[in-house]
Amino acid sequence: MSFGLDRLLNRENPFHAAMDRKRIVAAGHSYGATTTLILTGAQVIRDEKPLACKDPRFKASIVVSAPPFYGETDLAAVLAMIDVPALHVTTTEDTIRIPGRYSPVQDRIDVFNAIPTERKALVVFQGGSHSVFTDRSLRNGGQLNPLMKRATAEVGLAFLDLVHRSDPVPMDEWSVTWKPILAAAPVPFPVPPRNVDRRRRA
């Protein structure tokens, strides 16, 4: 991820001029969510030493269906260095079952709760498996699949309005729009008051 960002920010890259270095966001689903957490400050212990890959260029994160840090016994210590605004998304049926690994929905909530920053928000959709956010044809939530993907994209934008523009209105409006499929709506965190343009109209 950091290598890819290096390439995007390289002056020879055609997208270089369009990149706002102050508003770079990391986002991912499942193990992509774990990657996002690591990029924004999570660290694990390997051979009795902390292993960290924080990239300070990522100013916020969108974490969808984060697994636990398997093998780690102190989740709070793993996540203690995360200090960027974070949006976490999960569902009431977001259970992970893979060979050798089982993770109930509560693990997603525990990850959210263990992040120390106050600038965080949690979305919980009603129903929908761990794969509901993907394009997989099996166990992707059926009719819920396109709805939850659209709702997740929209709440991500509303979250960034809150982070970058100190504007809680889009997130409030999103919660009203998508209330029928929500088990828990995000609560916007406190933000500094927006600058008011006091210039007189011509």
Instruction: Round to whole Å and give the CA distance between 191 and 55.
Output: 24
For residue 192, give both structure tokens. 């500094």
CATH topology for the 2-10+21-184 domain: Rossmann fold (3.40.50)
Instruction: Round to whole Å and give the CA distance between 131 and 140.
Output: 5
- State pTM to two decimals: 0.89
Selection from 92, 96, 87 nearest residue 130 by Cα: 96
**What radius of gyration do the chain's Cα atoms show?**
18
SS3 12: coil
- Tens place of pLDDT for every residue, the chain, 202 residues? 999 999 999 989 888 888 899 999 999 999 999 999 999 999 988 887 888 899 999 999 999 999 999 888 899 999 999 999 999 999 999 999 888 889 999 999 999 999 999 999 999 999 999 999 988 766 666 788 899 999 999 999 999 999 999 999 999 999 999 999 999 999 888 877 665 444 443 3
Cβ neighbours of residue 72 closer than 8 Å, sequence gap 6 or more: 44, 45, 78
Q: How many helices (H) and strands (E) does the chain have?
A: 6, 9
Helix/strand/coil (H/E/C) assignment for every residue in 112-143: HHHCCCCCEEEEEECCCCCCCCCCCCCCCCCC
Which position has the token pair 């990029």? 39
Name the β-bridge partners of 52.
43
Please check whether residue 58 is in contact with residue 64, taking contact to mean a CB–CB distance below 8 angstroms.
Answer: no
